[in-house]
Amino acid sequence: MKKGFKKHAILLGLSLFATQSMAALSDKEQQLADYIDKTNPAALKLLEDIVNINSGTMNFAGVKKVADVLIPEFKALGFDARFEDGSAFGRAGHLVAELNGGTGPKMLLIGHLDTVFEPDSPFQTFEKISDTQARGPGIADMKGGDVVILQALRALHDAGELKNMNILVVMTGDEELSGRPLELSKKALTDGAKWADIAIGFENGDGNPATANISRRGSIDWTLTVTGVPSHSSQIFKDNVGAGSIYEASRILNTFYTDLRSEELLTYNPGRIMGGTAVTHDRKANSGTTFGKNNVVAESTIVTGDIRAISEDQVNRVKDKMREIVAASLPKTQSTIEFGEGYPALAPTDGNKALLEIYSNVSEDLGQGKVAPVNPLNAGAADVSFTSAYVEMAIDGLGMSGSAGHTVNETGNLEALPSQSKRAAILLYRLKQQ
């Protein structure tokens, strides 16, 4: 049977299934939930252990150390688990765990090992605030989600259901700062998506367990390079000197701000600016240097940023408008803008909506209430988007909820660890039945 036809049949079956709430947990599903409650203390201990391992994206040894803790957990469940080296794309690498030979749809489960907190961050350790809250680097984004994946799989294994399933787990080591080229950095994800029928991401979404992501905006980088005529500051604005590079960069950025804001679901952010007489830019390290004096007209300015959009059409339209703005230079300045690689958009397809409905039914049957789709403005780009061109159904945001992600106040909701694990386990079980 051709994969395309098989996928269509799976989508049709699951779409029909989505309309039928079970109204109550089956005995097997209750067994899954009970197992997760029983083993939650051990899951919390694992979460604390991996949060206390620094795995900032550029700390390659730390990223691998987290994988080294998790790989034996997958092997104990019967997975072929390994760490795939990332030197070809300038990162630590990825954890990949495979379980094949079962029945039902092929499911790709997505997590990531890295955080935004490098070894020089002051934020390094797990700290329990109360019985329901804890702080820690990456606790919600997304080491809690990685433990949710494991807990769901452990429950299915304990119930004798896992051995008959087709599951591929990919936990990337560069979600927070992708390696380049993306073709290699995201190959484990795209290869997995080509194999899979369904992709499920365990990011923490918008931090609200009453929501999940069926769409995510794509994200691409841009670099603005501006040059002007260096001169003594007393000569600025004269015909032979012009405005200088910093004024020109400011004009461009302000026009971006005023002229592009009407685009729905679009954001565009300048994240770094360097200007002066001499500028260096280290793209790989996301850093640079500047030298300049107050009495010298700036010769060079570099600005880097990103664009987040809901579709490829929107990206192309915004690129054209930005190029038009850049071309309208102030006197004696020249500017260019380059667009780099990025994350594709995850569109809200019918398949994604059907998968959300199944997940929402699971939540209701657990007594946790309905689950609604996240507004794409409330969630950033994520690895699940790289599956969008290949799978019929995708959902994200099924990880452990929390708040203040990417800051030194990142907090995780400890009560969400068992509740999200139950949802995930029963979702996978119901998908297997169909």
| Domain locations along the chain | 3-216+346-433, 220-343
Q: In the structure, what pLDDT confidence band is assigned to residue 310 with cuts at 50, 70 and 90?
A: confident
Q: How far apart are CA 412 and CA 401, in angstroms?
A: 6
Q: How far apart are CA 347 and CA 16, in angstroms?
A: 21
Token output for 198 = 């369904």
The string of pLDDT tens digits covering residues 73-115 is 999 999 999 999 999 999 999 999 999 977 789 999 999 999 9
The string of pLDDT tens digits covering residues 104-125 is 899 999 999 999 999 999 999 9
Q: How far apart are CA 177 and CA 286, in angstroms?
A: 10
pLDDT over 70, % of the chain: 95
Q: In the structure, what pLDDT confidence band is assigned to residue 284 with cuts at 50, 70 and 90?
A: confident
Q: In the structure, what pLDDT confidence band is assigned to residue 5 with cuts at 50, 70 and 90?
A: very low
Q: Which fold has domain 220-343?
A: Alpha-Beta Plaits (3.30.70)
| Cβ atoms of 424 and 155 closer than 8 Å | no
Q: In the structure, what pLDDT confidence band is assigned to residue 22 with cuts at 50, 70 and 90?
A: low
| Cβ atoms of 78 and 194 closer than 8 Å | no
Q: So what's the pLDDT on residue 101? A: 79
Q: How far apart are CA 291 and CA 337, in angstroms?
A: 22
Q: So what's the pLDDT on residue 168? A: 98
Q: In the structure, what pLDDT confidence band is assigned to residue 19 with cuts at 50, 70 and 90?
A: low
Mean pLDDT calculated for residue range 320-328: 98
Token output for 178 = 């992708």
Token output for 432 = 């297997």
pLDDT tops 80 at residue 388: yes
The string of pLDDT tens digits covering residues 124-166 is 999 999 999 999 999 999 999 999 999 999 999 999 999 999 9
Q: How far is CA 184 from CA 88, 89, 114, 372, 394, in A?
A: 7, 6, 17, 34, 22
Q: How far apart are CA 364 and CA 360, in angstroms?
A: 6
Within 10 Å of residue 353's Cβ, how many Cβ atoms?
A: 16
Which residues, at least 6 apart from 154, have a Cβ–Cβ distance to it below 8 Å? 35, 39, 77
Token output for 67 = 């994988």
Classify domain 3-216+346-433 at the CATH superfamily level: Zn peptidases (3.40.630.10)
Q: What is the DSSP letter of 331?
A: T
Q: How far apart are CA 426 and CA 430, in angstroms?
A: 6
Q: What is the DSSP letter of 396?
A: B
Considering the chain, what is the average pLDDT of its residues? 93
Q: So what's the pLDDT on residue 1? A: 37
The one-letter amino acid code at 240 reads N
Q: So what's the pLDDT on residue 15? A: 58
Within 10 Å of residue 236's Cβ, how many Cβ atoms?
A: 18
pLDDT tops 90 at residue 196: yes
The string of pLDDT tens digits covering residues 245-282 is 999 999 999 999 999 999 999 999 999 999 999 999 99
pLDDT tops 80 at residue 17: no
Token output for 332 = 């004696």
Which residues, at least 6 apart from 373, have a Cβ–Cβ distance to it below 8 Å? 211, 212, 213, 214, 215, 348, 353, 356
Mapping DSSP to helix (H, G, I), strand (E, B) and coil, where does residue 95 land? Answer: strand
pLDDT over 90, % of the chain: 85
Q: In the structure, what pLDDT confidence band is assigned to residue 16 with cuts at 50, 70 and 90?
A: low
Q: So what's the pLDDT on residue 301? A: 98
